[in-house]
Every structure is written in C-alpha cells, then in structure tokens.
Amino acid sequence: MIERTDVSHDAENDMSLVGDLVVADQVSALAAYLPDLAPDDRERVDGYVARASAEATLRAYQSDWRLFCAWCEESGYCSLPATPAIVAAFLTLLAERGFAPRTPHRARGGREALAKPLGRSTIGRRLSAIVFAHRAAGFDPPTQQPDGARLEKAMRAIRRDKRDDPSGKKRPADGDVLRDMLRTIDGEDLRSYRDRALLAIGMAGAFRRSELVAITVGRVSDDTRGLLVRVPTSKTDQEGRGHSVAIPDGRRLEPVRHYRAWLEKAAIDSGPVFRKLTPQGRLTEQPMSAQGVALVVKAAARSAGYPEALFSGHSLRAGFLTEAGRQNANLFKMREHSRHASIDMVADYVRDHERFREHAGEGFL
C-alpha cells in the first residue's frame, strides 16, 4: 500500500534541481545535506559537482524532477525522500495515461502540455532523474530502499508492455537527403548562408547539437585538406580532454566552402560561429540554441519534400554515420570521428543497411 504523507508545499515541494544538486528553499528540509560545511565551501562543492554531468542531461533531469514534484504535490505524497511504492505509482501512471500538472504549463514551442502515455525510454529517464535527485540530496534512492524490488518489478513490466511501441528514432540526413536539403536553401541572405553552413558542417563533423552551437572561430583552424574543429568537451568527454574533428574539403556537400562563405557573408572573425538571427534576419552576438538547430533541420527537410516529423537535430550526426557505413568506412575510424563511447553504438547506425548486403538468401530467394 502506498504511504500518503501530508507535506507542506514550502517544506517539500518548493524544490528544483539546480545544476547537479537538489536544493530546497527551506534549508531545514535537507538538514542532512552537507551538514558540516560552511556556506562558501558548500557553494564551491556544488559548483564543481554541477559540472560533472552533461548540461543537456541536467536540463532533462530538471524537467523530470519538477514533474514528479508536481504530481506528488497534487497527490499528497512526499517527493523527497520518496518510497519505491510512490515512485512506482508515478511511473505506471506515465505508462498508462501520462501526467500533466494542473497548473497551466506550456510545452516546448508554446503548446499547452497534455497528458499522454510515455514510451519506456522516457519513463526510464524519469526514474533516473528521481534517483539522481535523491542521491544529490543525501537520501537513499527509491531503487535502493528496502522495498526497491517492488519498483524494479514495476519497471520490468513497463518495459515488457512497451516493447512493441513504435520506435521514436528519427531519420538520418544521409548524403542524398542532405544534398536535397542544401539545394532548397538557395537564397543570398544571411539566414540562407548560415543554414547551409550549419547543415553541411553539422553532418560532416557528426556533431551533437550541443557541440555544433558551441563552435567558435578560435576553435577552427585551416588545413590544406579542409578544417580542424576543436571540441573541448562533449557528452563522452566530461573531463575535457578534447578532440580535433577533421572536416574534409568535400566536393559534393562542400562543408568547407559553406563554412567560409558564411563567415565572410556575416563578417564574423571571433566568437560563436553559428549565431541567432533576429526575425528580420539581422545578426546577433548570441550562439544558436540546440533547439534552433533542430528547427533548421526540420525546415530544410520540409522544403526538400521530406516529412519534417521524421527529422531532428540528431539527424545530421546520424546521417554522417549512416552514409559512412554505406560507403564501407572503417568502424573504428567512424567511432574516432563521431566520438562515441563504444564501437557497438556506432555499429547500430549501419546495421539496418547491412541487413540486405550479402544476404544469406540472396542466391536462391
């Protein structure tokens, strides 16, 4: 039976995930959290721990944790610490019909948030955020509490029930698709120059969206064979060892030419390479957002006659790996270029194409 707890809004639900740590407006609610540190020391530790996880992951965890706290507030449950039964009730609700807070909330793009059943990967991330928040606040996460087996069984059932859900994987912008996209952007204005360079460089470097918008002029150097782009840190390089990504001077998609043309057109000689433009098309000093990259990809896909819903910012990175596999590129070189953590993750991008290559039934079917 799920334990219901009377929780004051000020003491328990006034919480947010800030950086890598959970904090509360009422400090007494987390008396066990770093109890023997002076405020200055605590702030310094918080700052360093906050940089231990990828920014995109933290943003997702912030959103997930706020939703869990909102559900607990509406239901009368304690969100921190939460019991395994409470978390299981939340996750199974997400699986069956979803959850949207009663307080008006706008989803990305300005649309009103609506409750709808979630897929197993999103539900898994919600659980990860809850575990993350508990650990950061000094509490045993629900998965490690005495009744944690109840939560594990609930998650196992969710994964089983959701195993036949359609995949949410987006379509890669491979060589042919990206060429079609680039051909539709034929203007001579700043936006056209920027978008051509963004698409071509994004695909050629197999960049994540966060890496793409973080490129600065100072991190790009010329080479007789193309460009070298320094990526100081990434999702799989949190310690900042850095990578140099080679962008060949290709003749089909012409990433180097589009890059140089954009810098010359915008007269950019320092700072962010891919910048926000005003609605009127004027250049700003601010870098594009990751969401801005996705919008450019979707718009180009739509103009080229492809269903935009099938594309995202990740389509550029996936497109490079898909095309490289199609061209029989070495898997280890592909991994080196894409900066993936394992060769298996790279192989996933080429398996679909390989299914029909030298098929076992080719000689008799």
Range scoring the smallest mean pLDDT among 163-167, 222-226, 244-248, 250-254: 163-167
High-pLDDT (> 90) share of the chain, %? 43
Residue 167, pLDDT score: 54
pLDDT given at position 332: 87
CA dist 231 and 193 (Å) reads 23
Which region holds residue 136: left if phi is over 0, alpha if psi is between -120 and 50, else beta?
alpha
Mean pLDDT score across all residues of the chain: 80
Q: 35-39, 128-132, 253-257, 294-298: which has the minimum mean pLDDT?
A: 35-39
Q: At 177, list the tokens.
A: 């698709």
Q: What would the mean pLDDT of 157-161 be, rounded to a whole number?
A: 88
pLDDT higher than 90, residue 264: yes
Which of 180-194, 254-268, 304-318 is predicted least confidently? Answer: 304-318
pLDDT digits (tens, 9 = 90+) for 92-137: 999 988 898 887 554 444 455 677 888 888 899 999 999 988 988 8
Say whether pLDDT at 31 is over 50: no
Task: Give the DSSP per-residue string, 137-194.
Answer: TT---GGGSTTHHHHHHHHHHHHHHTTTSPP-PPPP--HHHHHHHHHH----SHHHHH
Q: What is the rounded distance in angstroms from the CA atom of residue 204 to the CA atom of residue 202?
A: 6
Interval 343-355 mean pLDDT? 73
Q: What is the CA radius of gyration of the chain?
A: 24
Does the pLDDT value for residue 34 go beyond 50?
no
Is pLDDT above 60 for 202?
yes
Which pair of tokens denotes residue 96? 């069956």
Per-residue pLDDT, averaged over 313-321, amounts to 90
Q: Residue 298: pLDDT above 90?
A: yes
pTM above 0.85, yes or no: no
Average pLDDT rounded to a whole number, residues 341-365: 73
- Identify the pLDDT of residue 2: 41
